[in-house]
Amino acid sequence: MPLLARMLPSPLAIDVRRGAVASLGSVLADRRIATEGRIAVAVGPGQGAQIAADLDLPHCEIFRVDEGTVDAATELGKKLRSGAYEAVAGIGGGKTIDVTKFAATMAGIPMVAVATNLAHDGIASPVSSLEHEGGKPSIGVTMPIAVVIDLDYVRSAPSHLVRSGVGDVVSNISAIEDWELAGRVNGEPVDGMSVTFARVAAEAVLHRPDSVDSDAFLTVLAEGLVLSGMAMSVAGSSRPASGACHEVLHAVTQLYPGTSNHGELAGLGALYASFLRVRHLDWPEARMREIRDCLVRHELPVAPSDVGLDEEAFTRAVVRAPDTRPGRFTILEHLNLSEDEIGRSVKDYVEAVGR
Chain residues in the site for Zn ion (CB under 5 A): 168, 266
Q: Which long-range contacts (CB under 8 A, 24 or more apart) does 214-222 make?
A: 215/18, 215/151, 218/118, 218/151, 218/154, 218/155, 218/162, 219/16, 219/17, 219/151, 221/118, 221/162, 221/165, 221/166, 221/169, 222/16, 222/115, 222/118, 222/123, 222/149, 222/151, 222/154
Q: Cβ closer to Zn ion: 107 or 294?
A: 294
Residue type, 207: H
**Minimum CB distance to Zn ion, residue 241 (Å):** 6
Residue nearest to Zn ion (CB): 168
Q: Cβ closer to Zn ion: 113 or 266?
A: 266
**Minimum CB distance to Zn ion, residue 239 (Å):** 12
Q: Cβ closer to Zn ion: 251 or 266?
A: 266
Distance CA 329, CA 31 (A): 41
DSSP single-letter state for residue 68:
-
**Are 195 and 282 spatial neighbours (Cβ–Cβ below 8 Å)?**
no
**Minimum CB distance to Zn ion, residue 228 (Å):** 8
Angle at Cα 223 formed by Cα 207 and Cα 12, nearest 5°? 160
**Minimum CB distance to Zn ion, residue 170 (Å):** 11
Q: Cβ closer to Zn ion: 33 or 195?
A: 195
Distance CA 320, CA 214 (A): 38
Q: Cβ closer to Zn ion: 202 or 266?
A: 266
**Minimum CB distance to Zn ion, residue 198 (Å):** 11
